[in-house]
Amino acid sequence: MARAAEIFVRAATVADNDAIVSLELRSALVLGDVEDLFDRSPDALACCRIQDGCRVIVAEMVGRVVGLMAGVVFRPLIQGQRRTLVYIHRARVDPEFRHHGIAMALSSALFSWSAERGAEGPCYAIAPGNATSLSFVERGGGRWPSDLALLDIDVSQATPGTAEPIAEERLPQAVDLINATHARENFFEPLTVDSLRARLSRDRAYGLANLRGVVDGGALIAVAGLLDKGAYTERIRIDRASGRETRSRSAAVIDWGYAPGRRGRFVELLDCLAADARALGRTTLTICEPRPDSLSPSLPYGHGAVSLFTPSLKPPATEVIGGLCFDLLNL
């Protein structure tokens, strides 16, 4: 009997760029009637450099890259307590090499790395229609009873607004607004001025000029950041029945909050960010909606959702969750 080829797992390097791009373009995520592919050329690692301490690893067999996994350690609030988890946000196995234990080898390596950094266990966010990924993560349990809700705002009708970039000296006010807005929401990771400043300095896709605000009476009353995800990723959606392809690049709202009673002004700020996204050539602007109907954008929008899993933490009952707010810089 021939000996099975060994799996070698190691950290990804810039030399793996073309292999990673190619792997993701032939490893579709099947979501019911559609398949999603992600084109991250020319820089497959760009979407990880913007994150705080992202780890990207690859698996090799017979001298070629056949698997990929990426994760980031984060410290969110879970039912009011700070926890340390590793969020797994990319996982791919070459279709020609499935059922060889590659996903398990990658998971073991990434979990070992994250445990050394204090992580209690993994966190996953999986689209409900992604049967392959769901079957893998459901083995560990920990599925939350409520899905994370997302709003995808159509920016095609957005017109320029008057929101201004936030000045450096207003960052403490911005942090206070953001933390107060999401204080009781699960998966929110509280900011400090230093951590916000670091987020705004890692990559050109998200800098101080991307953080916008509304000032009234000298006080900052609404704040939101525009993350240009389309700068490094194009989604290719394929209708499985017809084979028709739709390509799109999107933007996301992160680091947002508003003062009590000022949701209307925040919605105006969303309109401004939508216009900025349109100017960049993006098709949608995505924001996490922590609770049902807590946001009502004035522009047309659709609803999306992802299922959350924390195998090492028992999820709370639905009635006590309060809200879910995931960092779209990582999602």
pLDDT for res 136 = 80
Is 8-140 CATH 3.40.630.30?
A: yes
Q: Where do the domains of the chain lie?
A: 8-140, 148-230+249-305
**CA-CA distance, 71 to 256, in Å (whole number)?**
23
Is a pLDDT exceeding 50 seen at residue 279? yes
**CA-CA distance, 331 to 327, in Å (whole number)?**
6
pLDDT for res 3 = 41
Cis (ω within 30 of 0) for the bond into 300? no
Chain segment 70-104, per-residue pLDDT in tens? 999 999 999 999 999 999 999 999 999 988 899 99
pLDDT for res 4 = 52
Pairing assessment for the beta strands 250-258 and 284-289 based on DSSP bridges: parallel
Q: Mean of the per-residue pLDDT values for the chain?
A: 93
Enter the tokens of residue 259. 């003062």
- The dotted CATH code for 148-230+249-305 is 3.40.630.30
Domains 8-140 and 148-230+249-305 share a fold: yes
